[in-house]
Amino acid sequence: MAIRLSSQEDALEQTHEINVTPFIDVMLVLLIVFMVAAPLSTVDVNVDLPASTAQPTPRPDKPLFLTLKSDLTMALGDSPVSRGNLEGALDAATQNDKEQRVFVRADRSVPYGEVMEVMNLLRDANYLKIGLVGMEAAPDATREPARGATETNSPGTKP
């Protein structure tokens, strides 16, 4: 049996503390949402990119990727595009903004001439801001010459 010794009424005392438990719950839910949504916002075209030791540049908010796959087919973003329809697809994707940078991704097995042909198609369509995309190489990785490449020295150069 409980006995009340005070003569005050049942007045609840006000607490001046902030309850952070609901705030933490909301933050954890937002964290999970962003962890699930982040991988979905990337381009899902599988391509084996060559590595580069150059310093990476900051990525724009909505990059436009033109991918040249190993079978020499192209994809603008996630949708396949033919060489004849490339200019129209680029105009539709950029709303005719010829100043937007187009990032070219090419599979490691694609010949250099094919990459240059795609870059010429972009130049012919008046898209002159082109970025080449590659994988970042490990800092201690040694550079390997390209397959079939040989080092040559001109007669007037030192080895």
In a domain, 157, yes or no: no
pLDDT tier at 32, thresholds 50, 70, 90:
very high
What is the domain count for the chain?
Answer: 1
Backbone angles phi, psi at 64, to 5 degrees: -110, 110
Contact 143, 53 (CB under 8 A): yes
pLDDT tier at 1, thresholds 50, 70, 90:
low
Going from the C-alpha of 91 to that of each of 51, 81, 94, 97, the distances in angstroms are 30, 13, 5, 7
Q: Is 90 exposed, middle or buried (0-12, 13-18, 19+ CB in 10 A)?
A: buried
Mean pLDDT of 16-20: 81
In a domain, 23, yes or no: no
Domain containing residue 131: CATH number: 3.30.420.270
In a domain, 93, yes or no: yes
In a domain, 77, yes or no: yes
DSSP assignment letter at 37: H
In a domain, 110, yes or no: yes
In a domain, 28, yes or no: no
pLDDT tier at 26, thresholds 50, 70, 90:
very high
Mean pLDDT of 56-63: 76
Contact 80, 43 (CB under 8 A): no
Contacts of 51 (CB under 8 A, 6+ apart): 134, 135, 136, 137, 138, 141
CA 82 to chain centre: 23
**Which residue shows structure tokens 């550079």?**
143
In a domain, 113, yes or no: yes
pLDDT tier at 146, thresholds 50, 70, 90:
very low
In a domain, 103, yes or no: yes
The domain of 91 spans 51-136
pLDDT, residue 7, reads 58
* Residue scoring higher pLDDT (134 or 34): 34
